[in-house]
Amino acid sequence: MNKNRLEAFSDGVLAIIITIMVLELKVPHDSSFHALLELAPVFMSYVLSFIYVGIYWNNHHHMLQLVKKVNGKVLWANLHLLFWLSLFPFATAWMGENHFETLPVMVYGCVMFMAAMAYFILERTLVSLHGPDSDFSSAFKGHVKDIISTLIYLVAIGGSFISPLIGIACYVLVAVIWFIPDRRVEKKI
C-alpha cells in the first residue's frame, strides 16, 4: 500500500485542527487594550497548541520520509494519533477560556500525553512493518527525547494539582525540547 494517501490525509486533518483552533480566537467587542488583554490566556494557549501541532506535523513528515510501505495496522495507528491531535482544539480552548485553571490544564496534559503515546504506537507499528534491519527501524531506536517528554507530561499532569503553572511550564519545556525537528531521520536520508 502506498504512503501518499496516509500523508495527504494526515496533512489535511492537521490543517483542519489549526483552523478550528484559530476560529476559537474571538474578536473583542471593545477596542480597548484592556479588552485585548482579557484574551491573553486564550491567545497564549492557542500559540502553545499551534507550536505543538507544528511539531507533530514536522516530525510526522520526517518520519514518513523513511516509510516504504504502509498496511492496515499503520493506517489505524495513524488514525489513533489523529484522534488525539483532533482533541487539541477542545483542550486548548477549555484551558484558555478558563485562564489556566487546574482541571483544564491537567486535561490538556492528558491529551498531550495520549498524543505522544499514539505517536509512539505509530512509530512502533512502522518499525514492526519495516523489520529490524531497515533504515526506518535503525532511525527510530530508543530516543531520549521521547522518554523525557513522556515523563515531563506525567509531571505536568500531577503537578497541575499543586499549581497549574507547573503544568504550563512543563508543556512549554516539552515544546522547547521538540522545537528543533527530530534529527534521526535527517541522518538517514
What is the per-residue pLDDT across 71-127, written as a single tens digit (0 to 9) for each? 999 999 999 999 999 999 999 999 999 999 999 999 999 999 999 999 999 999 999
Percentage of the chain lying above the pLDDT 70 cut: 96
- Residue 162 CB: number of other CB atoms within 10 A? 10
Among candidates 118, 35, 37, 26, which has minimal Cα distance to 74? 118
pLDDT at 146 over 80: yes
Cα separation, 58 vs 49, whole angstroms: 14
What is the pLDDT, as a whole number, of residue 182?
A: 67
pLDDT, average across residues 7-20: 96
Residue 27's pLDDT band, with cuts at 50, 70 and 90, is: confident
Q: 167-185, pLDDT tens digit by residue?
A: 999 999 999 999 877 677 6
pTM of the model as a whole:
0.93
Q: How far apart are CA 75 and CA 57, in angstroms?
A: 16
Query: Domain containing 158: what range?
Result: 4-188
**Total domains, the chain:** 1
Q: Tell me how far apart the alpha carbons of residues 12 and 15 are, in angstroms, rounded to a whole number.
A: 5
Instruction: Please say if the pLDDT value at position 186 is more than 80.
Output: no
pLDDT over threshold 90, residue 21? yes
Helices (H), the chain: 4-23, 33-37, 40-65, 72-86, 88-97, 102-130, 135-139, 144-162, 164-179, 183-188
Query: Residue 188: pLDDT above 90?
Result: no
Could you tell me the sign of the dihedral formed by the alpha carbons of 47, 52, 57, 62, in that order?
positive
pLDDT at 141: 79
Query: What is the pLDDT, as a whole number, of residue 138?
Result: 85
